[in-house]
Amino acid sequence: MVKFTVEELRRIMDLKHNIRNMSVIAHVDHDSLVAAAGIIAQEVAGDIRITDTRQDEAERGITIKSTGISLYYEMTDESLMNFKGERTGNEYLINLIDSPGHVDFSSEVTAALRITDGALVVVDCVEGVCVQTETVLRQALGERIRPVLTVNKMDRCFLELQVEGEQAYQTFQRVIENANVIMATYEDPLLGDVQVYPEKGTVAFSAGLHGWAFTLTNFARMYSSKFGVDENKMMERLWGENYFDPATKKWTSKNTGSPTCKRGFVQFCYEPVKQIINICMNDQKDKLWPMLQKLGVTMKSEEKELAGKALMKRVMQTWFPASNALLEMMIFHLPSPMKAQKYRVENLYEGPLDDIYANAIRNCDPEGPLMLYVSKMIPASDKGRFFAFGRVFSGKVSTGLKVRIMGPNYVPGQKKDLYVKSVQRTVIWMGKKQESVEDVPCGNTVAMVGLDQFITKNATLTNEKEVDAHPIRAMKFSVSPVVRVAVQCKVASELPKLVEGLKRLAKSDPMVVCTMEESGEHIIAGAGELHLEICLKDLQEDFMGGAEITVSDPVVSFRETVLEKSCRMVMSKSPNKHNRLYMEARPMEDGLVEAIDEGAQTWLLTCAKEFNTLMKSKDSVVGAFQWASKEGALAEESMRAICFEVCDVVLHADAIHRGAGQIIPTARRVIYAAQLTAKPRLLEPVYLVDIQAPEQALGGIYSVLNQKRGHVFEELQRPGTPLYNIKAYLPVVESFGFSSTLRAATSGQAFPQAVFDHWDMMSSNPMELGSQSEQLVRDIRKRKGLKEEITPLSEYEDKL
């Protein structure tokens, strides 16, 4: 790889056919960053993992924040010979975003997917596609991101497992098949076939840790000259049911049964690699050098001094540099922005698909109006400021340009959530360095300075004058923030610091929600325990300058519901006694709750005799309903799946006596009375937990789940592996410390990932003294600073 300058990089940015924007999708322990680092390992001296920028990431060995880098790659004419797509010269620009694999951070992945067109899916050569990878992959395909696959950790096959050729082939075949099963469900006429095939070069085989990778193209190129066969034909022979017998020098489509007859892949790819590795490991240098010479691999003299594993690594890196194989695969098989935006425009643009903005995006038109999506905010080195990071879909963004910022709540034609501001500086990332550039044309990722005060998490930018532009569709996250903690500063006078810190935290993470309780406590809500832990660390160290904070135990929000129809019709009188409302509560019909979106969880039903009279006070009743359903009678948690029926009303004929002041408090009281008479219950949030573990760990998993009130509902063995996939429900309340308990109980073999799944009714009666729900209600009320006892029905219900 060649050293390159900002000027060079900027020049390629205009070549919209020669750009690839891609993200890396991988499971947590699948050294994704290692795979990505493999690509650039040679660019930077040594083994620095360049995307690994945070210390905690290094310690945990996982990626937490997605990081972007721009790479420059020059292809040889020879290797581009077979490239059919459009291109301008041999120089390529690859904008790569590495994102975290843990489910708690999948919001980061979502943000990364939005601004990329292709994805490198990293799967383990033995374990195959993991649950989390599957989720993200589905998400990616939903966004019309084209995938390529790399079968990673190849080194395990050769060193640790010592798998024989045919067996290895079968394993790889199954792994690829698994991935294809998922991808096949996303058949999309515009995107075309998204499945991956080794013989087409869309699958790579890599050893991220060792920094080498190959595709069948590498071998095909090598052998095509030797055999005098066309490269493409050779590729096809190197995978699938193609066998070669060196004794007869014949290709067959079936194993002839002769001991020398082997599958093409085994014969020509797997075994040569295995041989080289074995020779290196055994230090048989006398055999090694001639072989390398034959392969055209030249080693530096000092490298020849290496021995064993180090030698093997070096040799493989020189033979099959990971960067070349992976980058070439991306350049060949992932779409350029020009190509991708043609079909992605439908997913991206909210407005009519035939207006100038849609067309500009579709054609990736640098002369068109600016359309830019900011997908995340990245903390800058000067404290408190953020880069707005995103992708230019059309037009150009330049330093000093006045842009129209459309926030997530922007409605075309209105002035809500809309700002017009200037971009102070446009920046691109080159490795760890940020470089200012004059402008950035469409098809590229960009970071902008000076907009952070106007963008919370994401936004659409366009030119100042483009008042008709619609925004780019907001991202959908696959996780929701269900785990919450209350934070406060140790020293009261540092409150402004905390407030400032929380604002910054809210900005820096696509998922975290910073809110406030009625009691005045600051709340941080995250997707899971790990996510919260990282958020709190960021808050304290980066956003509050190390000021001390105290963090409460995790708080889980509950919902209030009812079990049965109210035992009787309840009535409440207005303060002036002139108005009466009669109501009943009952559980909602099955399926209705699911149908109603989270936003409006409860409906109000009216079949009152005095319908017309009631209509005059409708706003007041609805207002009271909104208020009451947000704070239920049990513990002031939101209500869910309750149907309130207004049975009858008696209203004063004179409007002055049935004003909002009379009706709102009354309606609220009668709703509470109805709820309390309908066997109120608590709903608790439940996680769906995915656990992947070997057979011997199952016992431990079951016992931990039992202890935590969880239950397993699915247990599947992964075909061809000793691994099991377990799906279980686990109450969120019990999930704190679950990961660590589980790891302890299974000596680190079980790896859980939890996402919020549903609300589950707690069977115990919260009105019954001493029951579990009653205790819970007490605790919640205490935390909220309310009277510990539930307000009695008599406070809400009146008698004639």
Partner 1 sequence: MEFQSNYEILRTAEFIRSRGVSRVALQFPDELLKDSTQVAKALRRELGNGVRLYVMADTAYGSCCVDEVGASHVDAECVVHYGHACMSPTSTLPALFVFGKAFINVNACAESLHQCLSISNKPVLVLYGLEYAHAVQDLKSTMCKLLLSSESNQKLYYSEVACSSINPSGYNIKDKEQPESHGDAIADGKVLKTLESGVTNKLESGTKYTLGGLTWITPLEHKMEDYLLFWIGSDNPAFANMVLTFNGCEIVRYDAEDCKLLNDFSHQKRILKRRYFLVEKAKDANIIGILVGTLGVAGYLHIIQQMKELIERDGKKSYTIVMGRPNPAKLANFPECDVFVYVSCAQTALLDSKEFLAPVITPFEAVLAFTRGRQWTGEYIMDFQNLMTSDTGEIVDDNEGARFSFLKGCYVEDLQPHENNGDQLERSLALAEMTEKALNVRNQSTDTVLFKGTARSGAEYLAARSYQGLSMQYENAPLQSYVVGRTGRASGYENEKE
**Residues lying near partner 1 in the complex (CB under 8 A):** 407-408, 411, 413-419, 453-457, 492-493, 495-496, 499, 502-503, 506, 513-522, 525, 573-578, 615-620, 622-623, 626-627, 652-653, 655, 659-665, 785-786, 800
Minimum distance from CB of 756 to partner 1 (Å)? 17
Minimum distance from CB of 409 to partner 1 (Å)? 8
Q: How many residues does the chain have?
A: 800
Nearer to partner 1, 656 or 769 (CB): 656
Nearer to partner 1, 231 or 521 (CB): 521
Minimum distance from CB of 474 to partner 1 (Å)? 12
Nearer to partner 1, 407 or 528 (CB): 407
Nearer to partner 1, 348 or 498 (CB): 498
Q: What angle do CA 493, 498, 499 make, to 5 degrees?
A: 105
Cβ(279)–Cβ(304) under 8 Å? Answer: no
CA pair distance 523, 555, nearest whole angstrom:
9
Nearer to partner 1, 630 or 711 (CB): 630
Nearer to partner 1, 310 or 516 (CB): 516
Query: Residue 765 forms beta bridges with which residues?
Result: none
Minimum distance from CB of 466 to partner 1 (Å)? 17
Minimum distance from CB of 547 to partner 1 (Å)? 14
The pair of three-digit structure tokens given for residue 631, joined into one six-digit string? 């704070």
Nearer to partner 1, 623 or 720 (CB): 623
The CB-side HSE value for 672 (13 A sphere, CA atoms) comes to 27
Minimum distance from CB of 676 to partner 1 (Å)? 16
Minimum distance from CB of 492 to partner 1 (Å)? 5
Q: How far is CA 792 from CA 494, 568, 788, in A?
A: 40, 16, 12
Nearer to partner 1, 432 or 782 (CB): 782
Cβ(260)–Cβ(247) under 8 Å? Answer: yes
Q: Residue 759: which H helix or E strand, with range?
A: strand 751-761
With CA atoms as reference, report the closest residue to 21 among 63, 70, 66.
Answer: 70
Minimum distance from CB of 113 to partner 1 (Å)? 22
Q: How far is CA 536 from CA 129, 242, 504, 539, 739, in A?
A: 31, 56, 12, 5, 18
Nearer to partner 1, 339 or 578 (CB): 578
Nearer to partner 1, 499 or 555 (CB): 499
Nearer to partner 1, 298 or 493 (CB): 493
Q: In three state form, how does the secondary structure of 624-682 look?
A: HHHHHHHCCCCCCCEECCEEEEEEEEECCCCHHHHCHHHHHHHHHHHHHHHHHCCCEEE
CA pair distance 132, 64, nearest whole angstrom:
15
With CA atoms as reference, report the closest residue to 686 among 772, 740, 747, 761.
Answer: 761
Query: Residue 712 forms beta bridges with which residues?
Result: 728
With CA atoms as reference, report the closest residue to 211 among 412, 49, 26, 443.
Answer: 49
The pair of three-digit structure tokens given for residue 637, joined into one six-digit string? 């948690």
Nearer to partner 1, 416 or 711 (CB): 416
Nearer to partner 1, 532 or 786 (CB): 786
Minimum distance from CB of 380 to partner 1 (Å)? 16
Nearer to partner 1, 310 or 491 (CB): 491
Nearer to partner 1, 419 or 702 (CB): 419
CA pair distance 111, 457, nearest whole angstrom:
10
Minimum distance from CB of 744 to partner 1 (Å)? 35
Minimum distance from CB of 677 to partner 1 (Å)? 21
DSSP string, 19-34: EEEEEEEE-TTS-HHH
Start-to-end CA distance of the chain, whole Å, equals 88
Minimum distance from CB of 616 to partner 1 (Å)? 4
Helical pair 285-295 and 308-319, crossing angle rounded to 10 deg? 10
CA pair distance 329, 24, nearest whole angstrom:
13
Q: In three state form, how does the secondary structure of 585-610 look?
A: EEECCCCHHHHCCCCCCCEEEECCCC
Rg (CA), the chain: 31
Minimum distance from CB of 192 to partner 1 (Å)? 38
Per DSSP, helices labelled H in 677-762 are: 698-707, 738-745
Minimum distance from CB of 54 to partner 1 (Å)? 25
Nearer to partner 1, 186 or 477 (CB): 477
Minimum distance from CB of 740 to partner 1 (Å)? 29
Query: Residue 551 forms beta bridges with which residues?
Result: 487
Q: In three state form, how does the secondary structure of 54-97 look?
A: CHHHHHHCCCCCCEEEEEEEECCCCCCCCCCCCCCCCEEEEEEE
CA pair distance 23, 95, nearest whole angstrom:
8
Minimum distance from CB of 387 to partner 1 (Å)? 16
